[in-house]
Chain A
Amino acid sequence: SQQGEEDPQALSIQEGENATMNCSYKTSINNLQWYRQNSGRGLVHLILIRSNEREKHSGRLRVTLDTSKKSSSLLITASRAADTASYFCATASRAGGTSYGKLTFGQGTILTVHP
């Protein structure tokens, strides 16, 4: 798989349920970020987790990072219909002298929350 691969590609749940999305990557990273994209709109930053962190919370979001497995997960608890969007992980790496601003995005997970 390529850097920043999410699974599942699509997730359909009922309002109130939890949604878990996973991301795997290949190279060493400095941080991993999750973004959300509503249809036809820009990317909105959700949460950033540094390589030396294992878990981070923000409201209903919980992100974990396992650098030994090169994987991350995004958990959205008590989902709402308004959470319907595409969710992307993106990695920032200084490998090869690349800048932090160069993010490598995954393919994304399309989340549909049914009311």
Chain B
Amino acid sequence: EPEVTQTPSHQVTQMGQEVILRCVPISNHLYFYWYRQILGQKVEFLVSFYNNEISEKSEIFDDQFSVERPDGSNFTLKIRSTKLEDSAMYFCASSSRQGSYNSPLHFGNGTRLTVT
């Protein structure tokens, strides 16, 4: 069964450094998402992406965050200058239709980002 893959599985970075989290969504999916889960807290929506542009973003997704689909298969999340509070598990997801009645989100296994 097709799946969403994320790399790396674990990323350790120093505060102030830039990180890029990578995702390969399911190949025929059109909608892409990033969510994050801080340890012990809820899974939170960050951003949705369709047709090469952001369709919605949350308050968390400030100017330090950006997303890109550079080559038609990868979907990346960049954090320009990481903060300690960015430490979390970041999940990429995709769906064939915009989270519609018949199209659930398919999540990757996540990248655990640790900012020191």
Contacts and interface: CB of A to CB of B under 8 A. Distances in A.
Given A33-B104, A42-B91, A45-B104, A107 B99 contact: no
Interface stretch (A64-72, A74-82, A94-102): A94-102
Interface residues of B, number: 29
Nearest to B49: A101
Given A42-B107, A43-B107, A106 B42 contact: yes
Contacts of A92: 99
B87 interface: no
B58 to A, nearest CB: 8
B45 A103 contact: yes
Nearest to A49: B101
B15 interface: no
A107 B98 contact: no
Interface residues on A, range: 20 to 34
A102 B59 CA distance: 13
Contact of B107 (A44, A106, A108): A44
A101 B95 contact: yes
A33 B42 CA distance: 15
Given A31-B101, A43-B43, 11 more contacts: A48-B102, A88-B43, A99-B56, A100-B97, A100-B100, A102-B48, A102-B58, A103-B45, A103-B105, A105-B43, A106-B42
9 contacts: A4-B42, A45-B104, A92-B99, A98-B56, A101-B31, A101-B99, A102-B58, A103-B105, A105-B43
